[in-house]
Structure 1
Amino acid sequence: MFETHQFNPVLDKDFILENYDSEDYLLEVFGDFLSIMPEEIEEIKTLQAINDKDKILKKIHSISPAVGFVGGIELSDRMKKFEVKAKNDPNFDVNNAESNKLFADIDAFINIIQEEASQLS
């Protein structure tokens, strides 16, 4: 059973075990996440290339709950803080090091979920 699975430390195992009562359900949620997230991060990167801060923040706002829902609690919190910081700073540059790091971490997180789904199935 998935209670003994060694989840990637980026994932909040306690959250996963508290919210998913079966491996099948968790795999379904991971599958749903993976069906939308690669496209979402690619769209963020496209928006970053044209420096569209408002649309990036809307994307971050819309996907941060999904990241948390699959156990990425810490990353989801960082995304929310990023959104607030960027909204409150009219000169915030979505091409700065902080932005690049967050977007790379989201991309890496998608890969982690893919790996976890593969290991569990």
Structure 2
Amino acid sequence: MFETHQFNPVLDKEFLMENYDTTEYLVEVLGDFLALMPEEIEEIKTAQAEKDKDTVVKKIHAISSAVGFVGGIELSDRMKKFEVKAKTDPDFDITNQESNALVNEIDAFIGIIQEEYNQLS
């Protein structure tokens, strides 16, 4: 069990403890997350550069649940709020500072998951 593991404070340890009963299962889920996310984040960055709002919003929507599933509950909630804001405001600029900050935070989160995966493996 991983009760004694010191998770990064960005992660919701209580959520992880409630949803994963073994270290092996958590490592498997983290590995699956890591296998998919680098490509997803690159697609978001490319869509931002191309000012393709629809793709950015779709990708943020697609990965927000996955972020929550690996303990990034607060980040997942912010991603969902971003999605709603971007969808409802026709003038929302997906290349603005708020958008860039969120994408950078998602990118950093992937790094945190990589660290956790390395420590738990």
Partner of 1:92: 92
Question: Is 1:110 equivalent to 2:99 in the alignment?
Answer: no
Q: Give the deviation of 1:5 after TM superposition.
A: 0.4
For structure 1, list consecutive stretches of 5 or more residues without a partner in the other structure: none
Cα distance in 2 between the residues matched to 1:55 and 1:45: 10
For structure 2, list consecutive stretches of 5 or more residues without a partner in the other structure: none
Partner of 1:78: 78
Q: Once superposed, what is the RMSD of the aligned Cα atoms?
A: 0.5
Aligned residues: 121
Cα distance in 1 between the residues matched to 2:52 and 2:95: 10
TM-score by length of 2: 0.99
Partner of 2:4: 4
Cα distance in 1 between the residues matched to 2:9 and 2:98: 22
Cα distance in 1 between the residues matched to 2:2 and 2:42: 31
TM-score by length of 1: 0.99
Percent identical: 75
Moved over 6 A (4+): none
Counterpart code for 1:97 = Q
